Amino acid sequence: MTTHSPDIPAPVLVLVPGVTDAPTDGDARFHVADETAPQLAVTDLVATRGDGVFETIGAFDGVPVNVIPHLERLARSAAMVDLPAPDLETLVEAVEAAIFAHEPVSELSVRVMYTRGIEGAGTPTCWIHARVSDDWAPYRTGMRVAVLDRGLSTTSARTSPWLLPGAKTLSYAVNMAAVREAKRRGAADVLFVASDGYVLEGPTSTLLVRRGDEFLTTPVSAGVLAGTSVRSLSDHLEAERGTGVREQLMTIEDVTGSDGAWLLSSTRLAAPITHLDEAELPVDRALTARFQQVLTGAI
């Protein structure tokens, strides 16, 4: 049994037993469940092996952003770990149901969890959990970021795909350990660097770098997650200036010598990097504010 602060609206849980089934008339493919009651078996392979994939979708004033790109990425992650293809139509409806069942709030974080299920059963487990987003305001004004070695090269996606670079798996313990290390170093977040010296991504975010009129990000082929936020900003910049965000391998010096850099994600939005280790970076507040509007779906 969990308890929540009386000031914060209660989270909503939607179980999705029909995640891999084609829509049928009789069976409920998903249903709202008691969020405070135990729901997950201790033998679910996500509990014993971290074996599953997930997505986190941001919803702003009740409207989710990039639902289809998130669910398509979930399907790609699922394919990378040989999970059956999830039924995206069912998931779209289940996400909508979770948001609808939640009290109206300005920022909701909607997690879609898809696991290998109970050991031996061969049936995946899936649920949606919608809760008030963490308070990202301090990050959105600017944050210190520590550079940490990921210990993998930018060729790992090609040479060692079993390490699952670029998949959004439920084995995020390493990512969370990296954030704790950054905090020990007095920073708020992390920029991973590859063993061959190129910068990659944050533990839960995509790198965006500005060089003059150019906007650059790490190539997905370097083993980073294909971000939905960077895609949204790229589409916006392309519509506005004719050029979107370009993929390019960058060194730490490319970032420290840039005209600004951000870590992007669906719930945090655009968080400007004020310092990369000890190097100070310029912060464009007006541009950051516009990026945040784009990422909430406001423009």
List of residues contacting ligand PLP (CB under 6 A) = 56, 168, 201, 204-206, 225, 227-229, 264-266
Distance (Å) of CA 58 to CA 22, 129, 142, 236, 245: 26, 12, 20, 18, 21
CB-based closest residue to ligand PLP: 229
The whole-angstrom distance between residue 48's C-alpha and the CA centroid of its chain comes to: 23
Closest listed residue to residue 226, CA positions, set 124, 298, 157: 157
Across the beta sheet with 52-60, the strand order is 31-33, 12-15, 125-132, 107-115, 52-60, 63-64
Measured from the CB atom, the residue of 133 and 266 that comes closer to ligand PLP is 266
- Of 33 and 63, nearer to ligand PLP (C-beta) is 63
First to last CA, the chain: 40
Min dist CB 184 to ligand PLP, Å, is: 20
Alpha carbons 71 and 54: distance in angstroms, whole number = 9
Whole-angstrom Cα distance, residue 294 to residue 274?
A: 21
Closest approach of ligand PLP to the CB of residue 65, in Å: 9
Q: Closer to ligand PLP by CB, 116 or 168: give it.
A: 168
Q: How far is the CB of 119 from ligand PLP (least distance, A)?
A: 26
- For ligand PLP, which is the closer residue by CB, 18 or 198? 198
CB 161, min distance to ligand PLP, A: 16
Residue 172 Cβ, how far from ligand PLP at the closest point, in Å? Answer: 7
| Residue nearer to ligand PLP on the CB measure, 118 or 255 | 255
Q: What angle do CA 250, 245, 252 make, to 5 degrees?
A: 15
Residue nearer to ligand PLP on the CB measure, 266 or 292: 266
Q: Encoding tokens for residue 80? A: 């990378």
Please state the closest distance from residue 41 (CB atom) to ligand PLP, in A: 26
| Element spanning 140, H or E | helix 137-141
- Cα-based angle 51, 57, 60 (whole degrees, multiple of 5): 160
Nearer to ligand PLP, 67 or 94 (CB): 67
| Residue 160: φ, ψ to 5° | -140, 60
Least separation in angstroms between residue 169's CB and ligand PLP is 10
